[in-house]
Structure 1
Amino acid sequence: MVMPWPYPDFPSAGDGPAPDGEDVRLAALVAQRLSIDWTTRRQQITVTVQNRVVILAGLVADPETCRAAGELAWDVSGVFDVCNALRLHSGRRRGR
């Protein structure tokens, strides 16, 4: 198999592959949905999309919020799959 050598002016030369326009669009739509919904808008959720697969990461207050975030991501048209890697915020402080 022969791999093409990128031209020097190719936007992703040396930086890895450029993000797909569809992935960027999906990430923006999911993030917008999460910021609008009253259940998820004040949570620490990071949205990443790779090959139309939404990856949710961060901390949320309760299991209901975790479930709601996954459902909101699934509702976006064009999403192929959702990886819900959200964790529950423990609420306890460490070091004391």
Structure 2
Amino acid sequence: MIPYFSFDSPFDSVPNGGFFVRPGPALPADEELMLRIADCLRGDLEGPGNRVVLEVQNGVVVLEGVVVTRALNALMHRLVWRVPGVADVCNRLTTWEDERRGHVDP
């Protein structure tokens, strides 16, 4: 399962607490790690404009979606790295701040 932070329900997702969850293959250790990360990020992502998909495979965390500011993007990256069991973080988040300016860093 992949937690999806959003107020909009994606077609292939089901509500689960404050997240939308898409079914997907995950090893038990990855699923447990994903749930710990989701708990860690939950308070920071609550609010309008944040739409984040969290995936974990073999301890590698992928963050995709859009958050409101660059500061929140950086905070999320740091918080994920602090969770025990995280082997690597691939941050593919963009920000509404950058999109309004028409600029997204590669």
CA RMSD of aligned residues (A): 1.9
Give 4+ residue runs of structure 1 displaced > 6 Å after superposition.
none
The structure with more radius of gyration: 1
Q: Does 1:62 align with 2:66?
A: no
* Cα separation, 2, equivalents of 1:60 and 1:91: 12
Equivalent residue for 1:88?
A: 95
Displacement, 1:91? 4.6
Unaligned segments of structure 2, at least 5 residues? 1-24, 102-106
Structure with the higher helix share, 1 or 2: 2
Q: TM-score, normalised by structure 1?
A: 0.69
Q: How much does 1:53 deviate?
A: 0.3
In the alignment, which residue of structure 1 is the partner of 2:79?
A: 72
Q: Secondary structure at the match of 1:19?
A: coil
Unaligned ranges ≥5, structure 1: 1-17
Identity of aligned residues (%): 33
Between structures 1 and 2, the one with greater strand share: 2
Q: What TM-score results when the alignment is normalised by the length of structure 2?
A: 0.63
1:24 is aligned to 2:24: no
Partner of 2:55: 48
